[in-house]
Amino acid sequence: MFKFDHFFIDLVQVLGCEARRLAVGTAHTAMIDITDVCNLRCPHCYYFHKLRDLAQEPAAEVWEERFRGLYRDGVRIVLLLGGEPALRQDVLWRADKVFPFVDVCTNGTVKIPTWFRHRIFLSLDGGPEMHDALRGKGVFSRVMDNYRGDPRVLIHMMLGKANYKDLETLVRTARENGLRGLCCSLYSPVQGEEDPLMLSPDQRRAVLDEIRRVRSLFPGVVRMSDRVLAWYVAEHDIRSCYLGRSVLHYDVSWRKRLCAGQANCAQCGCLSGAIGSPIQKLFHPREALQALQNLGMTQLNNGPEKGVQSLSANI
Ligand code: SF4
Ligand code: SF4
């Protein structure tokens, strides 16, 4: 049996944060680039043009100070991004010490040790062939060697023109490797840039249909609710979007910016934008049920100790 008490404690904490935000306007969530460095060079990456040496990046002590400042200001939930955050395990360690809820997005090529007992979003672009075609030969098997059967992992697949038909293959391969949950973003172009990978409205609809089809084959594995899918076809702007309006965004140099989705709201396919506020989930019982399944999966695998903590247990 998984531990309902942990789930409810987490849920109450998250809802408490959201209630306080609504009452006094204090942000509780921050999305932070903890490094600009990455060991891969994916064609769809917007970090290509601003890579720098790891040695030039802020020291772990600087990060801890920043994190403690955020905590004092009311932040309890952080999503750590990059570059490749697993290259800064010293920073992950500091975040783990400060915040109750930490999510991290990784390409999976460098294993995050098991002391990190939070959710890991593992970026995979398709089954082994597709993933290696986009990220380099042998990368898929390297990632599986690191994370096979890891209860912290939720796969994150970015669906674009080139790879969306590989969703089913990825789900099947992931299940064979003991990874049971998957969520998706749609490819989002960078604002102001002509982008050949951009999805047309028809292609966007085709991608959403494919998510629905694969979800029907693997209910409970593809964690994309109808509410989230509907968000991708609605119109957004930064004022109406929870992620743009209510979540803090910082780059490595600790500059605030508009949104981790590059604030290209018209073509945004960002999962975090689509998920929205924690309180919305209360009105969607199927999502809440999936959250319970998700948490059950992680806590079963973690034995009697405290389970994986994450806001993304809501996905
Ligand atoms: S792994 Fe992520 S950060 Fe690194 S190049 Fe690929 S998309 Fe960019
Ligand atoms: S880019 Fe996307 S996630 Fe960011 S504010 Fe706009 S709609 Fe929201």
Task: Report the CATH number at residue 224.
Answer: 3.20.20.70
pTM (2 decimals)? 0.88
Q: What pLDDT score does 104 carry?
A: 97
Question: Could you give the CA distance from residue 148 to residue 263 in angstroms, rounded to a whole number?
Answer: 34
Tokens of 14: 């998250």
Predicted confidence band at 52 (pLDDT cuts at 50, 70, 90)?
low
Residue whose CA is at the smallest distance from ligand 1 atom 6: 42
- Asked if residue 185 has its Cβ within 6 Å of ligand 1, the reply is no
Q: What is the mean pLDDT of residues 254-280?
A: 82
Using an 8 Å Cβ cutoff, are 179 and 146 in contact? no
Buried b vs exposed e over 252-269: b needs ≥16 C-beta within 10 Å? beeeeeebbbbbbbebbb
| End-to-end Cα distance, the chain | 20
d(CA 17, CA 74): 8
Of all atoms in ligand 2, which is nearest to the CA of residue 263?
1
Residue 69 CA to ligand 1 centre (angstroms): 28
Greatest C-alpha distance within the chain: 51
Q: Return the pLDDT at 299.
A: 38
Ligand closest to Cα of 83 equals: 1
Say if ligand 1 is within 6 A of residue 42 CB.
yes
Instruction: Please check the confidence at residue 105 and state whether its pLDDT lies above 90.
Output: yes
Per-residue pLDDT, averaged over 272-283, amounts to 76
Q: Give residue 60's identity as a one-letter amino acid code.
A: A
Query: Residue 203 in 3-state DSSP?
Result: helix
Whether residue 213 is predicted with pLDDT greater than 90 in this model: the reply is yes
Please determine, for residue 290, whether its predicted confidence score (pLDDT) is greater than 90.
no
Residues with CB under 6 A from ligand 2: 236, 238, 241, 243-244, 259, 261, 263-265, 268, 270, 273
Instruction: Give tens-digit pLDDT for 145-180.
Output: 999 999 999 999 999 999 999 999 999 999 999 998
Closest ligand to C-alpha of residue 232 is: 2
What total of structural domains would you count in the chain?
1
Helix (H) or strand (E) holding 81: strand 77-81
Q: What is the pLDDT of residue 200?
A: 87
Mean pLDDT computed over every residue of the chain: 84
Ligand 2 atom closest to 264 (CA): 1
CB atoms within 10 A of CB 214: 22
Residue 70 structural domain? 4-314
Closest by CA position to 250, among listed 64, 67, 18: 67
Q: Which atom of ligand 2 is nearest to the CA of 269?
A: 2
Please give the distance, rounded to the nearest whole angstrom, from the Cα atom of residue 232 to the centre of ligand 2. 11
Instruction: Give the pair of three-digit tokens for residue 202.
Output: 């028809």
Burial of 234 (0-12, 13-18, 19+ CB in 10 A): exposed
Provide the pLDDT for residue 261. 62
Q: Among the atoms of ligand 1, which is closest to the Cα of residue 47?
A: 8
pLDDT for res 259? 83
Q: How far is the CA of 152 from the centre of ligand 1 (A)?
A: 20
Question: Ligand 1 centroid to 46 CA: how many Å?
Answer: 8
Report pLDDT for 61: 97
- Cα(51) to ligand 2 centroid in Å equals 24
Residue 1 has pLDDT above 50, yes or no: no
Contact present, 152 and 298 (Cβ < 8 Å)? yes
